[in-house]
Amino acid sequence: MTLLHWAVLSPFIAAILIPFLYKYLKRIHTGWFVLILPLVLFIYFLSFIPRTSSGEAILNNLDWVPSLGINFNVYVDGLSLLFALLITGIGALVVLYSIYYLSKRKEKLNNFYVYLLMFMGAMLGVVLSDNLIVIYVFWEVTSIASSLLISYWYTREKSIYGAQKSMYITVFGGLSMLAGFSLLYVIAGTFSIRELIANADIVMASGLFIPAMILVLLGAFTKSAQFPFHIWLPDAMEAPTPVSAYLHSATMVKAGIYLVARLTGVFGGAPEWFWIITIAGLVTLTWGSISAVRQKDLKGILAFSTISQLGLIMSLLGTGSAAFYFQDGDNALYMTAILAAVFHLVNHATFKGSLFMAAGIVDHETGTRDIRKLGGLMTIMPITATISLIGLASMAGLPPFNGFLSKEMFLTGMLNVTEYGIFHLETFGFIIPIIAWIASVFTFLYCILMFSKTFMGKFDSSKLKVQHVHEAPIGMLISPIILAVLVVVFGLFPNLLAYSIIEPAMAAIAPGILSPGEFFDVHITHWHGFLAPELWMTIGVVVLGVILFMTFKKWENTAFYRGERDLFNYAYDYGYDGLVKGSQWLTRIQMTGRLRDYFIYMCTFIILIMAYTMYRYNLPAIQSLDLSPVPIYVWFVIAVFIGSVIVIPFINNRVALIIATSVSGFIVALLFVLFRAPDLALTQLLIETVSVILFMLVFYHLPKLKKVKTPPKLKAVKLIISIGFGLIITLGSLSAFSLGQEANYSSISEYYTENAKEEAGGYNIVNVILVDFRGLDTMLEVLVVALAVLTVVSLIRLRFKGSEDV
Amino acid sequence: MELLMSIVIGIVFSVTIYLFMSKDLLRVVAATLLLSHAVHLLLLTMSGLQRGAAPVLSFDAEAYTDPLPQALVLTAIVIAFAVTALLLVMSYRTYKVHKTDDLEELRGSADE
- Write the burial class of residue A527 (CB in 10 Å: 0-12 exposed, 13-18 middle, 19+ buried): exposed
> Average pLDDT, stretch B77-98?
86
What is the average pLDDT across A389-393? 91
Cβ(A404)–Cβ(A412) below 8 Å: no
| Partner residue facing A677 (CB), from B70, B90, B92 | B70
Q: Which of A96-100, A534-538, A668-672 has the lowest mean pLDDT?
A: A534-538
Q: What average pLDDT does the segment A724-749 reach?
A: 84
Torsion of CA A206, A208, A211, A216, to 10 degrees: -70
How does pLDDT run across A169-187, given as a tens digit for each residue? 999 999 999 999 999 999 9
- Is B27 touching A (CB cutoff 8 A)? yes
User: Counting runs of H as helices and runs of E as strands, what totals does chain B give?
Assistant: 3, 0
Which residues in chain A touch residue B43, judged by CB atoms under 8 angstroms apart?
none
Instruction: Verify whether the Cβ–Cβ distance B34 to A661 is below 8 Å.
Output: yes
Residues A678-698: what's their mean pLDDT?
A: 89
Report whether pLDDT(A374) > 80: yes
Q: How is residue A776 annotated by DSSP?
A: H
Interface test with B, best of A749, A778, A784 (most B CBs within 10 A): A749
- Compute the count of residue pairs across chains A and B with CB atoms less than 8 Å apart: 266
Say which range, A22-31, A616-625, B39-48, B83-92, has the weakest mean pLDDT: A616-625
The values of phi and psi at residue A788, to 5°, are -60, -40
Worst-scoring range by mean pLDDT, A485-494, A526-535, B17-26, B62-71? A526-535
**Residue A23 reports pLDDT greater than 80:** yes
Please enumerate, as own/partner, the contacts of A791-798 that have beta carbons within 8 Å and a separation of 24 or more: A791/B86, A791/B89, A792/B85, A792/B86, A792/B89, A795/B89, A795/B90, A795/B92, A795/B93, A796/B89, A796/B92, A796/B93
User: Which residues on chain A are in Cβ contact (under 8 Å) with B37?
Assistant: 664-665, 668
pLDDT in the model for residue A796 = 79
Please give the pLDDT value at position A806.
42
Higher pLDDT, A315 or A510: A315
pLDDT at residue B9 in the model? 94
Residue of A690, A672, A691, A674 whose CA lies nearest to A682? A672
Q: Any idea which of A114-123, A617-626, B12-21 has the lowest mean pLDDT?
A: A617-626
Residue A76, classed as helix, strand or coil, is: strand
Q: How far, in Å, CA of A68 to CA of A77, rounded? A: 25
Cα Rg of chain B, angstroms: 19
Q: Which residue of A has its CA nearest to B100?
A: A703
Query: Cα(A649)–Cα(A632) distance, rounded to whole angstroms?
Result: 28
- The pLDDT, as a whole number, for residue A493 is 87
Residues of A with CB below 8 A from B23's CB? Answer: 596, 706, 708
Contact list in A for residue B50 (CB cut-off 8 A) is: 628, 674-676
Q: Is the peptide bond prior to A703 cis by the omega test (within 30 degrees of 0)? A: no
Residue A678 at interface with chain B, using a CB cutoff of 8 Å = yes
Residues of B in contact with A787 (CB under 8 A): 82
Residue in chain B nearest A772 by alpha carbon: B71
Q: Give the residue-averaged pLDDT of A299-324.
A: 89
Q: Say whether pLDDT at A381 is over 80.
A: yes
Instruction: Name the burial class of residue B57, with classes exposed (0-12), middle (13-18) and buried (19+) by CB atoms within 10 angstroms of its CB.
Output: middle
Q: Which of A176-185, A403-412, A504-513, A515-524 ranks highest by mean pLDDT?
A: A176-185
pLDDT at A800 over 70: no
Say yes or no: B13 contacts chain A, CB-CB below 8 A: yes
Determine the residue type at B82.
A
User: Which pLDDT belongs to residue A594?
Assistant: 79
Looking at residue A66, what is its pLDDT?
86
The chain B residue lying nearest A710, using CA atoms, is: B22
Helices H / strands E in chain A, number of each: 36, 4
β-strands A70-71, A63-65 pairing: antiparallel
| CA atoms of A724 and A734, how far apart (whole Å) | 15
Structure confidence at residue B111 as a pLDDT band (50, 70, 90): very low
- Decide if B35 touches A, using CB distance below 8 A: no
- Residue A373 vs residues A376, A463, A805, B26: alpha-carbon distances, Å: 10, 6, 73, 74
C-alpha distance from residue A332 to each of A326, A419, B46 (Å): 12, 12, 74
Backbone CA torsion sign across A617, A621, A626, A631: positive
Residues 6 or more apart whose Cβ sits within 8 Å of residue A517: A55
- Checking if the pLDDT of B112 tops 50, the result is no
> Is residue B96's pLDDT more than 70?
yes
Would an 8 Å CB–CB cutoff place A553 in contact with chain B? no
Residues A272 and A421 sit within 8 Å (Cβ to Cβ): no
Cβ-based neighbour number of residue A535 at 10 Å: 15
Confidence of residue A61 (pLDDT cuts 50, 70, 90): confident
B66 touches chain A (CB under 8 A): yes
Best residue in B8, B9, B20 for a mutation probing chain A (most A CBs within 10 Å): B20
CA neighbours within 13 Å on the CB side: how many for A770?
A: 20
Instruction: Say if the Cβ atoms of B54 and A792 lie within 8 Å.
Output: no
What's the mean pLDDT in A791-802? 73
Mean pLDDT of chain A, nearest integer:
86
- Give rounded-to-5 percent helix, strand, coil for chain B: 70, 5, 30
Task: Report pLDDT for A622.
Answer: 63
Chain B closest CA to A795's CA: distance in Å?
7
A59 beta partners: A75
CB contact under 8 A, A778 and B88: no
Does residue A565 register a pLDDT over 80? Answer: no
Phi, psi of A64 (to 5 degrees): -115, -70
According to DSSP H, which parts of A54-108 are helical? 78-101
pLDDT band at A321 (very low <50, low <70, confident <90, very high): confident
Listed residue (B107, B105, B109, B90) closest to B26, CA to CA: B90
Whether residue A702 and residue B91 make contact (CB cut-off 8 A), yes or no, is yes
Q: Do B2 and A627 touch (CB under 8 A)?
A: yes
Is the confidence at residue A723, as pLDDT, over 50?
Answer: yes
Question: How many CB atoms lie under 10 A from the CB of residue A380?
Answer: 17
Query: Which residue has better confidence, B60 or A389?
Result: A389
Res. A700: pLDDT tops 80: no
Task: Give the whole-angstrom CA distance, residue A215 versus residue A175.
Answer: 9
**Could you tell me the pLDDT band of residue A286, with boundaries at 50, 70 and 90?**
very high
User: Does the pLDDT at position A55 exceed 90?
Assistant: no
Asked whether residue A216 carries a pLDDT value surpassing 90, the answer given is yes
What's the rounded Cα separation, in Å, for the pair A241 and A303?
Answer: 11
Which of A722, A736, A806 lies nearest to residue B46, judging by beta carbons?
A736
Mode of pairing for the β-strands spanning A58-60 and A74-76:
antiparallel
CA distance A667 to B40: 13
Q: If you average pLDDT over residues A477-495, what whole number do you get?
A: 89
Q: Which residue has the higher pLDDT, A594 or A715?
A: A715
Nearest CA in chain A to B108: A593
Task: Answer whether residue A590 shows pLDDT above 60.
Answer: yes
Q: Is A595 on the interface with B (CB under 8 A)?
A: yes
Q: Look at residue A88 in the predicted model and tell me its pLDDT.
A: 93
Whether chain B has a CB inside 8 Å of the CB on A666: the answer is no
Q: What does each C-alpha distance from A532 to A498, A535, A794 come to in angstroms?
A: 22, 6, 91
Which of 40-59 (B) contact A at CB < 8 A?
Answer: 40-42, 44-58
Percent of chain A surpassing pLDDT 90: 31
Higher pLDDT, A544 or A701: A544
pLDDT of residue A118: 93
pLDDT of A681 higher than 60: yes
Asked if residue A92 lies in contact with residue A35, where contact means CB atoms within 8 angstroms, the answer is: yes
- Per domain, the residue ranges of chain A are 268-504+518-583, 754-806
Tell me what pLDDT residue B105 has.
75
Question: How many Cα atoms are found within 13 Å in the side-chain-facing hemisphere of A370?
Answer: 9
